[in-house]
């Protein structure tokens, strides 16, 4: 059964109604960040007052399955050794001199509960962002534990709460919930389903992806993390392949692309093989290595006739730029979902 892309569905109210719940959830991303930041403000202030009076920890351990985002933000900036430990345990050396932080948006993961209970047992300082009446919160109870209460179950909003705390105890860069929420609101306005596809960047990107295999690249650490998230969204929404990785891993895919056949019937045999499309996530990083890698990818794409699309952001902070890029890509993935139909 052939699958094809009907771009008229991107402005069709009845077609968009089928994904209304998903689009509404995306539009509320900024509101969730603001809510979590507001609700956790008191607990965060208490934790900051306590922790600034203490000596700097020997190391920071981000535990639990959501630790990778914290690593992308903190690893280049944290003034003490930083370890991301997604396994349901802790490193053997972790103890009372260390700070264990955890994101548990749902609060019901047994592995996270086990890890935080082990941190308490070892006497480590523990800060957990999770629902206050959850399984993880129950296992985190201890003398040196702080619960930053969350309610939305949103991973990004929960991460912003934790990053705000870490920034204020001088263990990470500024997160600034307001700037993250504003960046998300701006994307929601630009990519709203009520904006015509002619002026809607997410709808236009979905059209570009309709007959392509996305090859997604981000140069900085956070842009690379965003690229993996965006590729995951494309795979989930389309049921097709989408690849994210470092420049040296993506170059062979682009260089192996066959020359475009202008006589190929796009509707015959399901449209033939999908050609790669290079999607660059540009967060404004001007590092010379990033510029060089971007140039190599774009030059290879141009030489093989591979289309290139770019997502950009002008948000003021690293976390806000990451959030903006992920949300733009996720909107495009949802429009790709609604446009793909089976014949």
Q: pLDDT tens digits, residue range 118-158?
A: 999 999 999 999 999 999 999 999 988 999 999 999 999 99
Beta pairing class for 99-103 and 60-63: parallel
| Averaged pLDDT of the chain | 92
Residue 263 has a pLDDT of 60
Listed as own residue / partner, the contacts of 121-125 with beta carbons closer than 8 Å and 24 or more positions apart are 122/90, 122/94, 122/95, 122/96, 123/95, 123/96, 124/61, 124/90, 124/94, 124/95, 124/96, 124/98, 124/99, 124/100, 125/51, 125/54, 125/57, 125/98, 125/99, 125/100
Judged against a pLDDT cut of 80, whether residue 269 lies above it is answered with no
Beta pairing, strands 3-5 & 340-342: antiparallel
From the centroid of its chain, how far is CA 115?
23
Strand partners, 102: 63, 128
Instruction: Give the H or E element holding residue 307.
Output: none
Phi, psi dihedral angles at 3 (to 5 degrees): -115, 130
* CA 318 to chain centroid: 12
Mean pLDDT confidence for 222-248: 96
Using alpha carbons, select from 44, 26, 82, 42 the residue that is nearest to residue 160. Answer: 44
DSSP assignment letter at 260: P
Delineate the domains of the chain, giving CATH numbers in brackets: 3-29+180-342 (3.40.50.10490), 41-149 (3.40.50.10490)
Tokens 């929960």 -> residue = 158
Token duo for residue 85: 């430990």
Q: Give pLDDT, residue 67.
A: 87
Quick check: helix, strand or coil at residue 17? helix
Half-sphere exposure (Cβ direction) of 19: Cα atoms closer than 13 Å: 24
Q: What is the pLDDT of residue 264?
A: 62
Q: Determine the average pLDDT of the residues in 99-121.
A: 94
H or E element that contains 243:
strand 243-244
Q: Could you give the percent of the chain with pLDDT greater than 90?
A: 83
pLDDT at 159: 95
**Cα torsion angle, 78, 82, 88, 90, sign:** negative
What is the C-alpha to C-alpha distance for residues 149 and 37, in angstroms, rounded to an integer?
9
Give yes or no for residue 68 having a pLDDT over 90: no
Q: What is the pLDDT of residue 266?
A: 52
Q: How confident is the model at residue 268 (pLDDT cuts 50, 70, 90)?
A: low
Total residue count of the chain as it appears in this document: 343
pLDDT in tens, 188-220: 999 999 999 999 999 999 999 999 999 999 999
SS3 state of residue 45: helix
Structure tokens that stand for 244 in this block: 């994210």
pLDDT tens per residue, range 301-335:
999 999 999 999 999 999 999 999 999 999 999 99
Q: What Rg, from alpha-carbon coordinates, does the chain have?
A: 22
- Predicted local confidence at residue 12, as pLDDT: 94
Q: How far apart are CA 218 and CA 226, in angstroms?
A: 7
> Cβ neighbours of residue 48 under 8 Å, at least 6 residues apart?
165, 168, 169
pLDDT number for residue 66: 82
How far is Cα 236 from Cα 250, in angstroms, rounded to an integer? 20
Q: Token digits for 235? A: 């795979």
Report in angstroms the alpha-carbon separations of 276 from 138, 204, 215, 224, 294.
Answer: 48, 17, 6, 18, 16
**What pLDDT score was predicted for residue 50?**
79
- Report the C-alpha gap between 113 and 120 in whole angstroms: 11
Percent of residues, the chain, with pLDDT higher than 70: 95
pTM: 0.93
| pLDDT value at residue 274 | 85
Mean per-residue pLDDT, 229-235: 97
If you write DSSP's letter for every residue of 187-203 in order, what string do you get? HHHHT-TTS-TTS-HHH
Weakest mean pLDDT among 45-59, 68-82, 178-192, 223-237 = 45-59
């Amino acid at each position: 059964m052939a699958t094809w892309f009907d771009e008229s569905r991107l402005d069709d109210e009845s077609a968009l109604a089928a994904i209304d719940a998903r689009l509404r959830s995306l539009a509320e991303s900024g509101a969730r960040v603001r809510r979590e930041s507001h609700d956790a403000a008191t607990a965060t202030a208490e934790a900051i007052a306590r922790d600034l009076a203490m000596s700097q920890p020997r190391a920071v351990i981000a535990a639990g399955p959501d630790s990778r985002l914290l690593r992308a933000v903190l690893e280049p900036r944290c003034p003490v050794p930083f370890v991301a430990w997604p396994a349901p345990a802790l490193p053997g050396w972790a103890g009372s001199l260390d700070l264990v932080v955890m994101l548990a948006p749902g609060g019901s993961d047994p592995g996270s509960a086990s890890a935080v209970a082990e941190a308490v047992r070892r006497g480590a300082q523990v800060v957990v962002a999770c629902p206050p009446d959850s399984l993880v919160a129950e296992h985190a109870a201890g003398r040196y534990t702080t619960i930053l209460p969350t309610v939305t179950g949103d991973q990004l909003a929960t991460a912003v709460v934790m990053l705000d705390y870490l920034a204020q105890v001088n263990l990470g860069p500024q997160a600034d919930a307001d700037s993250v929420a504003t960046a998300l609101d701006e994307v929601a306005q630009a990519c709203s389903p009520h904006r015509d596809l002619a002026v809607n960047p997410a709808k236009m990107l979905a059209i570009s992806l309709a007959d392509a295999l996305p090859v997604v690249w981000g140069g900085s650490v956070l842009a690379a993390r965003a690229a993996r998230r965006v590729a995951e969204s494309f795979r989930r929404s389309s049921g097709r392949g989408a690849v994210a990785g470092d420049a040296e891993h993506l170059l062979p895919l682009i260089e192996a692309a066959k020359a475009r056949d202008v006589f190929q019937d796009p509707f015959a045999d399901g449209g033939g093989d999908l050609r790669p499309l290079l999607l660059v996530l540009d967060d404004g990083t001007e590092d010379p290595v990033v510029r060089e890698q971007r140039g190599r990818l774009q030059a290879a794409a141009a030489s093989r006739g591979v289309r290139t699309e770019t997502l950009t952001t002008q948000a003021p902070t690293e976390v806000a730029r990451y959030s903006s890029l992920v949300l733009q890509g996720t909107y495009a993935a949802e429009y790709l979902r609604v446009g793909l139909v089976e014949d």
